Amino acid sequence: MQKTLLEKFYKYIHIDTQSDPESKSYPSTKKQFDLAQVLAQELKDLGLEDAHVDEHCYVMATLPANTNQDIPPIGFLAHMDTAPDMAGKNIKPNIVEEYNGEDILLNPEKDMYLKVSDFPELKNYLGQTLITTDGTTLLGADDKAGIAEIMTAVEYLAKNPQIKHGPIKIAFTPDEEIGKGVDHFDVKKFGARYAYTLDGGQLGELEFENFNAAFAMVSVQGRNVHPGMAKSKMINSMLVASEFNDLLPVFDRPEYTENYEGFFHLIKFDGTVEASTLQYIIRDHDLQKFESRKKLIEEVTSFINKKYGEGTISLEVKDQYYNMRQKVESVYHIVEIAGQAMRELGIEPNIKPIRGGTDGARLSYMGLPCPNLFTGGHNFHGKYEFIPLESMEKATKVILKIIELYT
């Protein structure tokens, strides 16, 4: 199984699928179709006759039931795009066999290391096979590890028809990294009653909670006057924007929060004396606190406008997604089954909130309850990304065990 996983993972990460948050098209980059077509063909080759890619770059397929038992259709999903944060093409992965617990040299030309002092979790993988970057790109384990794990599980079932199972629904989505992964996803067409995304991190992660999320655009209108004649006339929009940011709670920023603590995160600041813009993401697991955060940013806007004049600041707040816990709790057995699958394989489930979102969060609100399972990866979206091959194998076995338990 490890050989199959490694071959598939290598194949997928070498196909550039980086999404583009500035794009107005869907999917945001046409190159995501390159991987979609490869996956659809592989599924067809395994005998999944309905495998196809639609006009929105969704790959869907069904492994039909091979038993007369009344088993609900179960889905497994992963996303094809990689994050815009760092280069996702010309990936040159390193393989470290029988990891010895020491710092890993990623790139001798740049004298770049994956250091145990920075990433002490490396010590958890002594003797295992680690796949790392070469220090110049991300690896793409988010989420091509998830794709490889799902595809390996499907191949295993297709080649071992003596293993009885119900209908297995497979989907791969584009643009998850820019929050648009299921904008056009047809839940009814997909046909699963319950599903799992393979988009988590290290071994054992099992998640059914995520942030409530909103995006805020703050536009500041200043007044530009020649600085030699500016007294009592100039309003420097950049300074007003800085004042706006200073009125938000300092310790409610990502760098000071963890677990269930929410935040305001300034993600972009553009400005001149005449006009400036601030872009924020607002996050909280608790819906009431989430609403309070949105109210606070409105109150800060009102205060600034009273101080400098109405229209100095305009605010646009848009909800992005919500905490899937509200939709999963009523069918909590799907979380329990995943936890049981892990325990039967000797993996201790690490149930924790996602400090972010997944396609599964939005799918849960579209009528498809969808917890998230680990892929095994670490340090996503950057040059220090790595994944143990053994964790990928265990993720694949968790998929197979979940299917067995439903059967």
What residues act catalytically? 81, 176
Question: How many angstroms separate the CA atoms of 124 and 102, rounded?
Answer: 12
Cβ within 8 Å of residue 34, ≥6 positions away: 15, 16, 17
Tokens of 85: 């944060």
Angle between helices 141-159 and 389-406 (to 10 degrees): 50
Largest CA distance in the chain: 85
- CA-wise closest residue to 320 among 182, 203, 224: 182
Question: How many angstroms separate the CA atoms of 114 and 107, rounded?
Answer: 10
Secondary structure letter of residue 343 according to DSSP: H
Sign of the CA dihedral running 106, 204, 397, 361: negative
184: buried, middle or exposed (CB in 10 Å: 19+, 13-18, 0-12)? Answer: middle
- Helix or strand (DSSP H, E) at 135: none
* Cβ atoms 313, 244 nearer than 8 A: yes
Question: How many angstroms separate the CA atoms of 153 and 155, rounded?
Answer: 5
* Cβ atoms 1, 157 nearer than 8 A: no
